[in-house]
Structure 1
Amino acid sequence: MKFSVLFCFILLIIFQADFGQNEKTPRKQRRKIHHRRLRKNSSPNHTSNQQLRTLQTTVTPIARLPIMNSDYSVEENFESFLSFRGVESNYNVLPGKKGHCLVKGMTMYNKAVWSPEPCTTCLCSNGRVLCDEAVCHPVTCPHTVKPEGECCPVCAATVSYSLLSDITLNDRTEFSGDSSEQREPTSLLHKEMPPPQVGMDQVFRRGATEPEDNEEIKDMEHREEMPGPDASKVGNGPERKLRSDGKERSAHQLPNPRKEEEEEDEDEEGEGDDDEKEDEEEDAVRGDVFRVPSRIPIPAPPRGMPRMPGGCSLSYRTISCIHAALTQIPPMTAPDITSLELHGNSISSIPDEAFNGLPNLERLDLSRNNITSSGIGPNAFKFLKKLMRLNMDGNSLVQIPSELPSTLEELKINENNLQAIDEESLSGLHHLVTLELEGNNLSEINVNPLAFKSLKNLSYLRLGKNKFRIIPQGLPASIEELYLENNQIEEINEICFNHTRKINMIVLRYNKIEESRIAPLAWINQENLDSIDLSYNKLYHVPSYLPKSLLHLVLMGNQIERIPGYVFGHMEPGLEYLYLSFNRLADDGVDRVSFYGAYHSLRELFLDHNDLKSIPPGIQEMTALHFLRLNNNKIRNVLAEQICNVEEDKDSSLEHLHLENNYIKTREISPYAFSCIRSYSSIVLQPQHIK
């Protein structure tokens, strides 16, 4: 008993000594350790790695089926890009040879990263679109704000600065009359400032600032103009001033309440170890001696700059007036602006002088307005010598605007009322890469065969939702991707693609094409054409004479009853993706030679939503098959050698096998039916119909 009491007493003494030691730790030292850890954790590499680890533990890839609408359209589903292996394929895979992704009508190249929304980042990975939400890390400043268009908060002091027209703190001397020597410390301060986000009302103001701001500015200027003990030595070395406590401080050092508090704590505690000195030296090298107080006056803008409407905002070099209820383009003079967003207003006209004050525009968004062709001046865009992207979607144009800049690389006039494209409509646009004219009244009758002649660099052409009955003539030789969905195309003749030797993707879904109306020489000799989408047409069997370079074939939503033998036999290196969902395939429409030529290459085979009563022959011979969909058929049993080859003692490459919504009695399945599949969790058997 005495030994136990003695042992407890010794432990109590040890705990008290440790607690007292912690209490004696200087408050400044503890604060420095805390900030040092924050700086370490906020480094770029650490942040990205921490985000990745966090998402990897919270995001689980989910197998998603597309949502079929009443018009047979298929909504796209995005998946997380953290787990490439084991992610279910969806119906909209049409990546092309390089693994391109199709996103809301736009084609993204493999490994492309973009942000469809301020807080979302997406990645194109081998034909799959994978998106993740941004993760905001805590900021260490006491006051934070969330700038418009951003998803993460920033320090309040950061938002008080402007970069427009190079009007920053180090340029304020142009308006206050300060000498160049006195500008030096402020310039160093500006170099430590992060790029700011500012409101439009802070930049485009007609008069002076508010009285309180003026007083602060005058007080700041007065402090800068006051000479030190030896003003003649400014710039030759850090001069010294005496503080109220008798210590020296650099004249270039601005007061910092937090640092003064730390110094007072140091005086009170009386601690000054070597670690603190090293931290102070590190702070000097890092530039924190030029820290500024939380309330820094905003520099007064130059007089004469026009006031912008309240609904507009400024972010770096972009003026954004989205849904600002504008009825006309406001006059602006801002030579450094490179992007102007006027989406979702009521603008009906564009006068010749509309963009005279924005000569360096590179991107102009005029979509979703009421702009008419008669309301556009003949020289409205002529003097925008650096414009590369012009978006006029959702207006009331009946013709393509004239005098467009030759620097254009992207032109979008979707969802308008275009009635014709003549030989001169697109002349001079030699640098155009992307042209989108979807949702208009265009047809082979009102589109001149020479309309695309001058587009020497055009690679991406959208002509969907128009009234074409045949493939447009005169396509540029440089075309790589052609979208003609939702037209009235009935045939593909043998001269359609004679001059388009670079084309690698053709989308013809939602048309009226029959296999007998596809000419044998229409595309069989194409060497780069690897993706064709013929979904929702009038096909009764898989077309013959397909391109020998084909990798991806999408035939969903037809009336296909048969896969002819050897139809894929001529393809090199071989078909990889075959989608035959929502057709009328039955057992007598598929035999062993139907997949001849694709046994070694086929990676994904979708035969769901058909009339199959048994597993199609030849599945066990597909050595590269990863995804197999046989759900929503009339299959009643799975025999031992229909999926796995019992004679060969090796694992199958199958990662996902769907057999749900059939009439299979799971208890009657042979124990060897799935013996070659490495993971049984990849087999989906439930639910089944009971009949």
Structure 2
Amino acid sequence: MRWWLLGAALGLLVLIVPDVQAGRRPRDHEGGSRRGKRKRDGRGLGRTREGRSRPLKIRLVPGPIIPEKPGPNFGNTGFLNLYRNVQEQQSSYSVIPGKPDRCVYRGLTMFDLAVWSPSPCVTCLCAEGRVVCDEISCPTMHCPSPVTPAGACCPVCMDPDSELSLDLSGDSPVPSDPNKAVIPLTQEEIQSILWREEEEHREEEERLRKKDEARKKRRKERKEREEKQRKLVEERRREEEEALRLQVEKEEEEWRRQIEEAEERRRQEEEKRMQEEEERRQRERDKEIKLEEERRRQETLEREKLLEEEERQREEKEEEEEVWLRGDVFQMIPKERDLLPAPIPTPPAAIEEEEEEEEEEEMVTRSRGGLPPGCSISDVTVTCENIKLTHFPPLSIPELKSLSLEGNDISSIPAGAFNGIPNLEWINLKKNQLTSAGIDANVFKGLKMLRRLYLDENLLDMVPPDLPSTLQELKISENKLRGIDENSFQDLSSLVTLELEGNLLSEGNVDPRAFAPLTQLFYLRLGRNHFRTIPQGLPKSLLELYLENNLIEEISEAVFNRTGNLNVVSLRHNKLDETRIAPMAWFNHRNLESIDLSHNEFYLVPSFLPKSLVHLVLVGNNIERIPGYVFAHMDPGLEYLYMSFNKLDGEGIEPESFFGTHHSMTEMCLDHNQLIYVPIGISEMTNLHFLRLDSNKIRSISDESICDPNQDQETPLVGLRMENNYLDPQKISPSAFSCVRSASSVVLKPQKTKR
């Protein structure tokens, strides 16, 4: 029985060895191929972490291995030869693609998990449609006469004294010489193999244990460092909050003090105004009393004259009757002086009072340079506002610099009106009834010092002609200007500010050459007119352009070509959309930093915005989406973005929408939209100061949606508004707002009732 068991073990060994020599791996028929799994039972060929084959290790049971007779496990191909010093064999892999459930190899179809050996040194496997082949590379043999056994691919060193050989081409061990017996392995050799295996196993376990202990130690040290860092961060945050609280209290105290001072100034100004108003009313009352007294005096004089005339007529009638009764025939001719009415005697006191009043009025008129009643003069400024003047006052004050006639009913300015005030620098004629026909053509020509001329809210239908070349500021808003011709601004090369808002201007009645003389113009206001396109011929020097409340529908590619210095453009309340702006209209501008496109008809944030843009206003449009990378080309980057009152929802903002603004964005307003969550990318904005997300449909806030938990440096976020959403403040994690400098800067109440 013992010999039979020994023969079966040798037969099993012979079955295993060909697989090993051919580079095959044992298969697990239940779980697929065991790739890379280390064998600890000594059977099969394992793989190291570097992908190389491990040395074959065979465990044999000690004892005699000479069978009594050939059994079923013994073949006729030869005897079992024992080979010593079997060295490590190397293998390489090649992959042949196929179908997912089968493989095609050299015209043959192999099903999934099929294993075959196309040659002695190659073993192939069909795995998920791919053919994986393992080719053995033979090691260098250091023996005088290596031998390649039949059916093997690599040579081995043969012990010339061995009486057994391992026939790898057969399925059973056979004696090399029928006359010689099979020599088994000794107990010491087998024990040595087993000890070496156990020693390697213990070393591997010890190495893994030490590695695990080192990992646990590092994890513990990392946790201790994180806890220490967290405590330091918490302490620093408490200190910052305390400092911020003190600063806020100080600012509030300063703010209250400023409010009290402003309230005190306002009260003093109100008292002063009331006092001035009372003085003005008192002067009017005194004037009315004086006029009433004058009227009564005149009535008294007239009554006295009438009584004297009646008395004289009665006396004459009585004298005639007396003469007729006497019957005198000679009658004296009355002298000429007797024909005049007798003078009315005036009391001496009344004569003196009248003379004093006439002298006082003459002195006042002479000292005020012909200034009408109700006007005030201070140093070199005369103010005659809202006193119902109907004519331009004839002034004669050569040193006068400023004249304000605002709020009167003056309809004309005659020739020579400024002859007595030639040194004027500022004239304010707002809110009168001036017409172009009522202004003399040369009335402003003699004012060589004039800098500012205000003609707002009159009835002018054209720009006054022959304005002085020294003019720097001209305002003709809220009139009825019907056009601007080529010569309207002739010789006004010093003009800096021009305001023509609220007129009847359009691209059809504004000559493209009208602005050519304005070589120093910085500020141009053309709002509340009838423009459908940007007017042509804008000055090269222009810095700020305001065209709000027009009918502008498009921006052509060439309209801003000459305005390289343009810094601010306001186009709010027009009819623009993202399809009517030419791609290169302002894309390459290097100075255009602020654009206001509020209250237009945009559905998307427009592309091809200026590279230099810093301030963008898109309030009150129909914007539903912010395309990805729309701000990415801007340098140094967009800082202010206002998109309140639009239609942004959860799908309208992409992960790349704010790409390019993560280090530049300072203020962003997305309030009064339809957002259902905090937009992606806000937590990456390292320079954000103020954020508005109020009046949306946000229902929750994650810990990393606003604040980046991996951000170590201090964040500048000082204001966050999220009221009027569907949030439950009790369910929001405290760490969600960890990057906000002060908890008082986060506004969460009130919230809407959840639907």
The yes-or-no answer on 1:513 pairing with 2:576 is yes
1:675 CA drift (Å): 1.7
Determine if the alignment matches structure 1 residue 341 to structure 2 residue 537: no
Specify the code of the residue in structure 1 equivalent to 2:386. H
Q: Work out which of the residue numbers 577, 583, 586 in structure 1 matches 2:649.
A: 586
1:490 aligns with 2:553: yes
Cα RMSD for the two superposed structures? 3.2
Residues 54, 642 of structure 1: CA spacing in aligned structure 2 closer, same or farther, 3 A cutoff? closer
Q: Residues of 1 paired with 2:354 and 2:620: CA distance?
A: 65
Distance 1:148 1:379 in 2: 41
Cα deviation code 1:516-537 (max 9, x no counterpart): 1000110011110000000000
The one-character-per-residue Cα deviations of 1:212-247 (angstroms, maximum 9, x if unpaired) are 9999xxxxxxxxxxxxxxxxxxxxxxxxxxxxxxxx
In structure 1, what is the Cα distance between the partners aligned to 2:254 and 2:276? 23
Q: Distance in 1 between matches of 2:417 and 2:648?
A: 59
Runs of at least 5 residues in structure 1 that lack an aligned partner in the other structure: 1-52, 62-79, 83-119, 121-131, 139-144, 154-207, 216-298
Match of 1:439 among 484, 488, 502: 502
- Taking the aligned partners of 2:431 and 2:486, their CA distance within structure 1 comes to 27
Aligned to 1:354, which of 388, 395, 417? Answer: 417
User: 2-side partners of 1:149 and 1:488: how far apart?
Assistant: 48
- In structure 1, the partner of 2:681 is 618
- Spell out, residue by residue over 1:398-423, the C-alpha distance to the aligned partner (whole angstroms, 9 max, x if none): 00000111110000000000001000
- 1:470-524 deviation line (CA, Å, top 9, x unaligned): 0000000000000000000000011011000111000000000011100011001
* Structure 2 residue 600 is matched with structure 1 residue 537: yes
CA shift at 1:352, angstroms? 1.3
Larger radius of gyration: 2
Of 445, 455, 461, 1:382 maps to: 445
Is the CA contact 1:430–1:454 (under 8 Å) kept in the aligned structure 2? yes
Establish whether residue 679 from structure 1 lines up as the match of residue 729 from structure 2.
Answer: no
Counterparts of 1:262-301 in structure 2 under 5 Å? none
What SS does structure 1 have at the residue aligned with 2:595?
A: strand
Write the letter of the residue equivalent to 1:456.
T
Give 1:59 deviation, angstroms: 2.7
The 1-side partners of 2:408 and 2:490 are apart by 30
Q: 1:325 aligns with which of 384, 388, 395?
A: 388
Overall identity of the aligned pairs, in %: 54
How many residues are aligned here? 431
Q: Output the amino acid matched with 1:59.
A: W
The alpha-carbon distance between structure 1 residues 417 and 212, as it changes in their structure 2 partners (threshold 3 A), is closer
1:430 aligns with 2:626: no
Measure how far apart 1:432 and its partner are: 0.2
Contact preservation (8 Å) 1:515, 1:542: yes
Please give the alpha-carbon distance, in whole angstroms, between the structure 2 residues aligned to 1:496 and 1:590: 32
Q: CA deviation at 1:565?
A: 0.6
* Distance change >3 Å, CA 146–CA 135, structure 1 → 2: closer
3-state SS of the aligned residue for 2:657?
helix
Deviation at 1:562, TM superposition (A): 0.5
Task: Write the deviation string for residues 640-677 of structure 1: whole angstroms up to 9, x where unpaired.
Answer: 11111123344421110000000101111112111222
What's the offset of the Cα at 1:306? 4.1
User: Hey, what does 1:463 align to over in structure 2?
Assistant: 526
Quick one: distance in 2 between partners of 1:475 and 1:212?
61
In the TM superposition, what is the alpha-carbon distance from 1:301 to its structure 2 partner? Answer: 7.0
Residue of structure 1 equivalent to 2:613: 550
The corresponding residue for 1:560 is 623
What is residue 204 of structure 2 aligned with on the other side? none
1:209–1:300 CA contact under 8 A, matched in 2: no
Pick from 468, 476, 496 the counterpart of residue 405 of structure 1. 468
Output the CA distance in 2 between the equivalents of 1:666 and 1:639.
Answer: 12
Question: 1:188-227 maps to which residues of 2 (within 5 A)?
Answer: none
Could you say what secondary structure the match of 2:744 adopts? helix
- The AA in structure 1 aligned to 2:587 is I
1:365 has 2:438 as partner: no
Over 3 Å counting, the alpha-carbon distance change for 1:345 and 1:484 in structure 2 is same
Paired residue for 2:479, among 407, 416, 427? 416
Code of the residue aligned with 1:620 in structure 2: it is S
> Residues 311 and 323 of structure 1 are in contact (CA less than 8 Å); yes or no, is this contact kept in structure 2?
no
Residue 59 of structure 1 aligns to a residue in which SS?
helix
The separation in 1 between residues aligned to 2:660 and 2:251, in whole angstroms, is 41
What amino acid does structure 2 have at the position aligned with 1:489? Answer: I
**Contact between 1:352 and 1:381, CA under 8 Å: does it hold in 2?**
no
Aligned amino acid, residue 541 of structure 1: L
1:659 to 707, 722, 727: 722
Q: Distance in 1 between matches of 2:741 and 2:417?
A: 66
C-alpha distance in 2 between matches for 1:385 and 1:365: 17
Higher-RCO chain (CA-CA 8 Å, sequence separation at least 6): 1
SS in 1 for 2:641: strand
Normalising by structure 1, report the TM-score. Answer: 0.59
Partners of 1:383 and 1:643 lie apart in 2 by: 65
Q: Secondary structure at the match of 1:589?
A: coil
Following TM superposition, by how much is the alpha carbon of 1:309 offset from its aligned partner in structure 2, in angstroms? 2.1
Q: Secondary structure at the match of 2:442?
A: coil
> How far did residue 147 of structure 1 move?
8.2
Asked whether 1:574 is paired with 2:644, we answer no
Pick closer, same or farther for the CA change 1:58–1:572 going to 2, 3 Å.
closer
Matched, 1:481 2:677: no
Deviation at 1:149, TM superposition (A): 11
Name the structure 2 match of 1:11. Answer: none
Change (3 A) 1:328 1:440: same
Relative to structure 1, the CA distance from residue 606 to residue 150 in structure 2 (aligned partners, 3 Å threshold; closer, same or farther) is farther
Aligned residue type for 2:657: S
Q: Where does residue 692 of structure 2 map in the other structure? A: 629
Q: Which residue of 1 aligns with 2:241?
A: none
Is the 8 Å Cα contact of residues 643 and 670 (structure 2) preserved in structure 1? yes
**C-alpha separation in 2, matches of 1:440 and 1:387:** 24
Q: Indicate conservation of the 8 Å contact 2:370/2:396, yes or no.
A: no
Structure 1 residues 388 and 56, CA gap change in structure 2 (3 angstroms): farther
Partner of 1:241: none
Instruction: Give how far 1:678 is off.
Output: 2.1
Secondary structure of 2:704's match?
helix
Task: Note the C-alpha offset of 1:326.
Answer: 0.3
Contact 2:482/2:505, CA 8 A, preserved across alignment? yes
Q: 1:529 to 1:516 in 2, by over 3 A?
A: same
1:59 aligns with 2:255: yes
The structure 1 segments of at least 4 consecutive aligned residues displaced by more than 6 Å after TM superposition are: 53-56, 147-151, 212-215, 299-302
2:124 counterpart residue number = none
Match of 1:316 in 2: 379
Could you tell me how far 1:355 is from its partner in structure 2? 1.1
**SS state at 2:691 partner:** strand
Secondary structure of the structure 2 residue equivalent to 1:373: coil
- Judged with a 3 Å threshold, the aligned counterparts in structure 2 of structure 1 residues 214 and 439 are, in CA distance, closer, same or farther, namely closer
Q: Look up the equivalent residue of 2:567 and give its one-letter code.
A: N
Instruction: Give the aligned residue type for 1:314.
Output: I
Letter paired with 1:672: S
Rounded Cα–Cα distance in structure 1 between residues aligned with 2:742 and 2:613: 31
Alpha-carbon spacing, 1:474–1:209, altered in 2? closer, same or farther (3 Å)? farther
1:308 shift after superposition: 2.2
Could you tell me which residue of structure 1 aligns to residue 62 of structure 2?
Answer: none
Unaligned runs of 5+ in 2: 1-248, 280-352
8 Å Cα contact 2:717/2:740 also seen in 1: yes
